[in-house]
Structures are given as structure tokens and as C-alpha cells.
Chains A and B, each alone.
Chain A
Amino acid sequence: MAVYKTRCPDCDAELDVPSDTEQGEILSCPGCGLELEVKQIKGGCVDLQELTMEGEDWGE
């Protein structure tokens, strides 16, 4: 299967995104482990956005 190349918006690691990936899917960056949401796939370009989470004992 073909893959699109893109980069993690946080650590800049290269990600291989399968071409059948759909908008809204969650990927994990191999470099930093961050969960990224596929916001848009257009013309072979993949737009990824970090998911915002909040854990039970997070934040001060």
C-alpha cells in the first residue's frame, strides 16, 4: 500500500501515513509517542494535529 510522508508537529519525526487513512483517525508519532489526529488529507499532504488530553492528576 502506498504511504504518505508527513512530520510530527511536535518533535518533527517523519511519519508514514497509509494512503487509506481517513480524516479523524488517530496516529501515534514513532518519535515522541504523541497521539495525532488526521485533520485533512489532500493531494498527498497530510495535516496532523495534536490531541489535547487531560489526565486525572494533571495541571496546576
Chain B
Amino acid sequence: MSIALLYERSETDEMGIKLTAQDLGIDVVFLPFRKIALTIGKTGFTAKTKGKDYTNAVKSAAVVLNRAQSKNRRLQAGYFMEMLGKKTINSSRIEFVCYSKLRTLLHFWTAGIPIPKTVYVPCDAVDTLKNGSLIHNEKDIADLLQNELALDEGLVIKPDAGTHGKGMVLSKNREQLLAGIQEIKPSIINPVGIVAQELIQKWFYDLRIIVSKEKGKAPVCHPVALARGGFRDFRTNTYLGNTVFDARIPFSIRELAVKCSQALGKDAEAWVLALDAMINVGENKTVDDAALISELKKAEEEYEKVRVVKQDETRLRDFQGWNRLLEEAFQRYKSTEPYEKVKSIIEESLEKNRDRVVFHEANSCPEFWEHTRLIAGMNVAVPLLKCAQSLI
């Protein structure tokens, strides 16, 4: 029985998992979950592309690493594989919870983990009547949100299944709020209703924390977080041009991260999760913004050299060669003075404000090969493969 890597496209992370499996001497079979016919009927189960029969590969797999990149396809893949008797990482139950920010927050909240104050209004901004006319609910939704959240301190509307900060809207007055609600339309990343949160005064950074659990062992939190920083926007996603740093996590936050993973993992035997957390720093800053902005700007300039390598298309033709260049570029970036200075500021702020952490999201299929691995020092492919092995 083997480990199967199920994926849609061979992106950097999936190539990284293949490379890591080779390095660790772990056999992995590959299941392209894309233009494939998965058939169930009287004669049993088959999995075939136009030119290749994957049925035996699926049958021989004991554990499936579910890396379908689309959240919705990943849900289908996990459920399908489990119904065929496979163990999955992560389980379809974990996928179901992590798919939705609201569901994730409910699990955190019931486990006593600090979260941003969150309001869910099930109603969509616009309803269509049978006769085709429209009912506008924007004002009612805005009233409901304003009753619960302080608008002047900032109110964030976010798609329930959003990604990379897309579709997030910050409002600080009624006009902005109404405009923001109007923008939210039912879609694949926000199927029903409106999710809104208080704006966390996170200064300039947030954290991505990795927790993994092998069967028969306790969950382990990687002691270093990926800190994403910048003043570009209220969002700190790297896709929006923010910069990355590593930051040692205070023990109390690591304990909370483990608790988060247990709240999501429940009775699953193994899991690998990336948790997103913010620190409500407020005015409890450790240095002046002016000095920080100057250092961040210098760090961003250094990071531009990494970006050039990241975008180099040789990745698609010579992954190993490109990977070497990438590792060297990140190493150079991490050894620069501005990097060290900003990293120190983040770590000092983290230590000073460790009781002000809130967890707001969990990622069941995190991207990791570039930032998490080369900045935070955690190659997530290793716990993925080890957790899979522990299930066999």
C-alpha cells in the first residue's frame, strides 16, 4: 500500500512534495485530479484519463495527500477517496470546516480560543423575486452589522471561503459599508450571506503558524512563524505585495495554536494545518512607525531580488535548478540588515503582546514551498509525508 499525491496542477508546492519524497526515499504515486473520469457502477470503480488508467494506482493507495488546489474540488476529492476506503490528509471533515472562515471561527470560539468579534448575516445583499424584480437588503444588513460592530474603528467584510485577501472590504463609515455590502454577491467563494469582523489593530504584520499531528503522537507546533508584513493595506497577504519575515513564537501562542488544531482536527488521527493569527497590538507598539517604515522599505527593496527569481519561468522546465536559485535568493535576503531589524521588531512586539493574539483562519492545503519553507524554515512536505506514513 502506498501514499498517493492527488493534485490538479503540478504547482511549486506539488513539485516540492515530489522532490522531498525523493529525498526522504518515500514512494509516492501521483493522481492527477483533473481531466479524469472517476466512475462508480455495477462493475466497481475506475479512474481513467484519456490516455492512462489510474484505477490500480488509486486502489493501491492507503493514504491520499489531498492537494487539489480548488477548495471545492478538494472537498469532492477528499470525500470520494474516503468513500473508497482511503485515509486522507487532511480528512474531508477538516476540509469542510477549513473551507469556511465562519465554520473555522465557530470551532475556535467553542474551544475558547480568542478570535476577532465576528458577525454572520445569512441574507444576501440582493434577492430576486419570482417576477424578476429585486429586493435590496443592503441597508438592513448594514444596520445589523452596525448594531454589533463599531464601524468607526473599522469593519471588515470578507468572503467566507476567500483566498489571498480577494474580496475583502474595509469600511469606516456608513457609505463605505453600504458600498462594500453591494459588492458581495453570492459566488463560489461566498455562497451565502455576509461575514463581517472587527478590524484588528495588528500594526503591520500577521502570522502563519504550522501545526501537524502524526497518528499516535501529540500535535506539534513549529516554533517559528511566517510573519507577513507591510503597510500597503489592512490586509497582509503576500499576494498583495507584502514582505515576509520569520518570527519565533512565544510559548503561550504555540499552545493556543495546538489547541486550534485540536479544535479542527477533533478525532482525526493525523493532520497538517496552517493557522493564521493576528496580534491586536493597538498602540502597544515597540518602535515608532516612521523608523519601522524606513526599515520595511529597505527590506522590500532586498525582497525584490527574491521576487525576480520566484517569477522566473525556468521553474516549469528545470525545477531543481530553479529551486537552488530560489534557496540562494532567500538566503541572501534573510542575511540583510533590514531583514534582521524588522524581524527583531516583530519578535519584540510578539513577546510584548503575546496575550493579544487572535486566530482567524485555518488552511488545510497551505502553500509552503517558497515562504513557509525558506523563511520560517518549515518544509511542510515533511510533516505531510510523515503524517501519511503514520497512517499506513
Contacts and interface: CB of A to CB of B under 8 A. Distances in A.
A59 B164 contact: yes
B163 A49 contact: no
B84 interface: no
Contact of A57 (B34, B36, B72, B317): B72
B274 interface: yes
B316 A57 contact: no
Contacts of B274: 60
Interface in A3-60: 9-11, 13, 28-34, 49-50, 52-53, 55-60
B51 interface: yes
Interface stretch (B199-207, B284-292, B363-371, B382-390): B363-371
Nearest to B164: A59
Given A30-B49, A33-B35, A57 B71 contact: yes
Interface in B3-21: 9-11
Given A31-B51, A49-B316, A58 B32 contact: no
- Chain B binding surface SS class: loop
Given A31-B51, A34-B32, A60-B366, A53 B188 contact: no
Interface residues of B, number: 32
Given A33-B32, A50-B9, A50-B316, A56 B188 contact: yes
Given A13-B52, A50-B316, A60 B163 contact: yes
A58 B69 contact: yes
B345 interface: no
A59 B161 CA distance: 11
Contacts of B366: 60
